[in-house]
């Protein structure tokens, strides 16, 4: 996001402190979907030069069926100055994700679990990422797959991301959504890739070290990749610490080839 959009999003997030219904998150995700599919609407609502009153009136006319809390969040978003319409849509989507995280505290963990499920199934990746399958078909597949296994909040988020890829891989979109949800809950997500499983004590000590580093609670998820050979690779937000044997061997190979 551009600096203007980041500032707009930060200000709009203040509206999440009010009383929101349990459905506010899914309502905002649906609003983001609707706006994304109507470029003229997105341009009108995300236009930094347009009068706030005209954008507010448009929201009231077109989104009057939203709950008071969800409509209040959308009104707060249109009142800010966004870099462009696409980033406005992304901002509304993030506000929806954050509202879902407020409704269900376990959302980050569930989204990561679904991301792992998608990673492990080539068939699922193809089906949910196919441009030949309509959005409704993808949503139906998600609901059949996840019904009774994860929360309604997680199903809402996964369905939205599957139906609205906007150039994103579903697994990557799910992990980013999990990061946003974790941030709303006041903690960071760390993905730790190792060649063999960590013991509970090792995982606990690693979480404490990372917590001291970032200054707040860290939830560690572990990915097993035998190709690392040994060592550990840690991804925390946009930062990657690669201390794996594979990375050291690759570094040595590059130096020898230079």
Q: What is the DSSP letter of 199?
A: P
* CB-neighbour burial class of residue 1 (10 A; exposed 0-12, middle 13-18, buried 19+): middle
pLDDT at 41: 93
- 50 and 127 part of one domain: no
Using the predicted structure, report yes or no on whether residue 240 has a pLDDT greater than 80: no
Instruction: Check residue 247 and give its pLDDT.
Output: 64
Per-residue pLDDT band for 256 (boundaries 50, 70, 90) equals: low
Flag whether pLDDT at 13 surpasses 80. yes
Q: Is the pLDDT of residue 86 over 60?
A: yes
**CATH number (domain holding residue 250):** 3.30.1330.20
Q: Do 99 and 27 belong together in one domain?
A: yes
Looking at residue 245, its pLDDT comes to 63
* 114 neighbors 158 (Cβ within 8 angstroms): yes
Q: Which domain holds residue 7?
A: 3-103
Indicate the burial class of 130 (C-beta count within 10 angstroms; 0-12, 13-18, 19 or more).
exposed
Q: Judge whether residue 14 has pLDDT over 60.
A: yes
Can you tell me whether residue 223 is helix, strand or coil?
strand
Of 76, 103, 130, the residue at which a domain comes to its end is 103
Q: Are residues 48 and 91 in the same domain?
A: yes
What is the pLDDT, as a whole number, of residue 42?
92
pLDDT of residue 246: 67
**Are 54 and 117 in a shared domain?**
no
Q: Which residue, of 103, 120, 150, is where some domain finishes?
A: 103
* 218-224/188-194 β-pairing: parallel
pLDDT digits (tens, 9 = 90+) for 120-153: 888 888 888 888 889 899 999 999 999 999 999 9
Q: Kindly tell me if the per-residue pLDDT of 211 is higher than 90.
A: no
In angstroms, how far is the first alpha carbon of the chain from the final one? 37
* 170, 230: one domain: no
| Range of weakest confidence among 10-19, 37-46, 241-250 | 241-250
Cβ(161)–Cβ(94) under 8 Å? no
pLDDT beyond 80 at 254: no
Q: Are 45 and 35 in contact (CB under 8 A)?
A: yes
- 212 and 166 in a single domain? The answer is no
Please state, rounded to an integer, the average pLDDT across all residues of the chain. Answer: 87
Per-residue pLDDT tens over the stretch 142-195: 999 999 999 999 999 999 999 998 888 898 899 899 999 999 998 888 888 888
Which of 77, 103, 129 is the endpoint of a domain? Answer: 103
Tokens 């000590």: give the residue.
205
Same domain flag for 170 and 191: no
What total number of domains does the chain contain?
Answer: 3
Q: Is residue 95 domain-shared with residue 7, that is, in the same domain?
A: yes
Are residues 86 and 151 both part of a single domain? no
Tokens of 178: 């999990």
Lookup result for tokens 């150039």: 167
State the average pLDDT over residues 51-66: 93
Contact (Cβ atoms closer than 8 angstroms) between residue 258 and residue 225: no
Closest CA to 9 of 58, 64, 79: 79
Share of the chain above pLDDT 90, in %: 52
CA contacts within 13 A on the Cβ side of 170: 30
Residues 16 and 84 in one domain: yes
């Amino acid at each position: 996001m551009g600096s203007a959009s980041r500032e707009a999003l930060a200000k709009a997030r203040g509206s999440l402190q009010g009383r929101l219904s349990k459905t506010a998150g899914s309502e905002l995700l649906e609003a983001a979907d609707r706006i994304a599919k109507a470029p003229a609407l997105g341009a009108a609502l995300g236009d930094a030069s347009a009068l706030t009153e005209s954008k507010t009136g448009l929201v009231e006319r077109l989104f009057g069926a939203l709950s008071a809390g969800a409509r209040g969040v959308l009104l707060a978003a249109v009142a800010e100055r966004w870099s462009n319409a696409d980033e406005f849509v992304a901002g509304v989507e993030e506000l929806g994700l954050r509202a879902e995280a407020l409704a269900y505290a376990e959302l980050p963990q569930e989204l990561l679990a679904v991301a792992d499920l998608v990673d492990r199934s080539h068939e699922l990746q193809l089906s949910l990422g196919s441009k030949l399958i309509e959005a409704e078909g993808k949503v139906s597949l998600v609901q059949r797959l996840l019904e009774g296994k994860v929360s309604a909040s997680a199903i809402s988020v996964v369905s939205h991301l599957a139906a609205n890829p906007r150039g994103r891989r579903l697994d990557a979109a799910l992990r980013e959504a999990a990061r946003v949800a974790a941030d709303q809950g006041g903690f960071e997500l760390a993905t730790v890739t190792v060649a063999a499983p960590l013991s509970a004590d090792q995982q606990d000590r690693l979480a404490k070290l990372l917590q001291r580093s970032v200054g707040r609670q860290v939830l560690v998820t572990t990915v097993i990749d035998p190709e690392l050979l040994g060592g550990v690779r840690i991804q925390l937000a946009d930062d990657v610490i690669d201390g794996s044997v594979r990375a050291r061997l690759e570094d040595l190979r590059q130096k020898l080839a230079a």
